[in-house]
């Protein structure tokens, strides 16, 4: 008797496992086929996504250089700088330390520090003032401003840091005494209306070989100094005598030594290291 030719007859109990095994095999085949279909689709996705990622990274890396780095990276760094600028507060201070922790920083960088320099005939040239007149100031003029001392951590962009005691005049005090030009053209009020001042300060060594740019907020930060003393002693030539910038809210690259000129300006000033691939803002 054959179950296939005679529908009246049902398979006997003993035969059931055989049919079950056939059904399972058929089902397993379907499951495998289904998995293959899904895998094909998913792996094509994965392939496309991998190709897209590698292509995207290569595309970024091969773009025209904007000041030393591919322009898409430069754009994002500038946006990062704008966001940081918006969130920046001059009320947040860099951590300070006991003066006993201060150490001698390493002399790192001699650009703009040529031999043919006579500190005795040095003057600070200042331009971009509201008065419209440029100034030539002696160190004695700077020292008339209140002397401020702070022990802070100098953080080099290379990754090392060192605690140093700096003393000098606050750049904010300097700007109050010699007010920068305003954007509105109205009389400047450094304390009450700092936002009306032109947004940037450019600083250079006397020979113009090294130059940095600061945003107005960093310039007005109370720990930003026109510095003439380091670790309790007058600055040495190697560390930027007679006057240097100290900017604890920036990396060490902005602590310009042998300050020759300051310019208050509406245009973002050129910056030596920013031209060589680094972030212009470089702020903390």
Partner 1 sequence: MKRLEKKHSLAIRWFHWVNFPVLFVMVWSGILIYWANDVYRIGIGSWTLFKFFPPAFYEKFSLAFRLADGMAWHFVFAWIFGINGLLYVLYLLFSGEWRQLFPRRETLREAVQVVLHDLRIRKTPLPRAKFNGAQRIAYTGVILMGFGSLLTGLAIYKPVQTAGILPFLSLSLWGATGYEISRFVHFWLTIGFCGFFLIHVAQVAKAGWNNFRAMITGYEIVPAETESPVESPAATRV
Residues at the interface with partner 1 (CB under 8 A): 24, 27-28, 31-32, 34-35, 38-39, 41-43, 46, 49, 53, 57, 68-70, 72-74, 76-77, 80, 84, 87-89, 92-95, 97, 153, 155-161, 163, 248-249, 273, 276-279, 283-284
Asked if 264 and 180 touch (Cβ cutoff 8 Å), the reply is yes
Asked if 96 and 149 touch (Cβ cutoff 8 Å), the reply is no
Name the minimum Å distance from CB 100 to partner 1. 12
Nearer to partner 1, 61 or 234 (CB): 61
Nearer to partner 1, 153 or 207 (CB): 153
Name the minimum Å distance from CB 190 to partner 1. 21
DSSP-based three-state secondary structure for 152: strand
Q: How far is CA 12 from CA 9, 22, 25, 26, 49, in A?
A: 9, 16, 21, 21, 55
Name the minimum Å distance from CB 73 to partner 1. 4
Nearer to partner 1, 37 or 193 (CB): 37
Nearer to partner 1, 9 or 44 (CB): 44
Nearer to partner 1, 7 or 95 (CB): 95
Name the minimum Å distance from CB 221 to partner 1. 9
Name the minimum Å distance from CB 20 to partner 1. 9
Nearer to partner 1, 109 or 179 (CB): 109
Name the minimum Å distance from CB 282 to partner 1. 9
């Amino acid at each position: 008797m054959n179950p296939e030719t005679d529908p009246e007859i049902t398979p006997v109990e003993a035969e059931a496992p055989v049919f079950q095994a056939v059904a399972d095999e058929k089902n397993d085949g379907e499951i495998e086929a289904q998995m293959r279909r899904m895998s094909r689709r998913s792996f094509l996705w994965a392939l496309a996504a991998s190709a897209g990622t590698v292509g995207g990274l290569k595309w970024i890396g091969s773009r025209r250089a904007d000041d030393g780095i591919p322009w898409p990276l430069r754009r994002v760094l500038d946006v990062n700088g704008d966001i940081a600028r918006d969130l920046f507060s001059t009320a947040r201070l860099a951590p300070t330390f006991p003066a006993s922790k201060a150490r001698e920083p390493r002399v790192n960088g001699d650009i703009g520090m040529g031999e043919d320099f006579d500190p005795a005939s040095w003057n600070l040239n200042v331009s971009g003032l509201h008065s419209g007149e440029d100034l030539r100031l002696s160190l004695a003029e700077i020292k008339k401003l209140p002397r401020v001392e702070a022990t802070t951590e100098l953080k080099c962009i290379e990754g090392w840091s060192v605690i140093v005691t700096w003393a000098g005049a606050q750049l904010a005090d300097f700007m109050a005494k010699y007010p920068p030009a305003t954007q509105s053209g109205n009389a400047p009020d450094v304390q009450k209306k700092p936002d009306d001042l032109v947004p940037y300060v450019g600083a250079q060594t006397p020979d113009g070989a090294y130059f940095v740019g600061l945003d107005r907020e960093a310039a007005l930060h109370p720990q930003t100094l026109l510095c003439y003393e380091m670790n309790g002693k007058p600055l040495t030539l190697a560390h930027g005598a007679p006057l240097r910038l100290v900017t604890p809210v920036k990396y060490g690259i902005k602590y310009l030594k042998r300050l020759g000129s300051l310019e208050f300006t509406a245009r973002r000033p050129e910056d030596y290291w920013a031209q060589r691939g680094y972030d212009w803002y470089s702020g903390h």
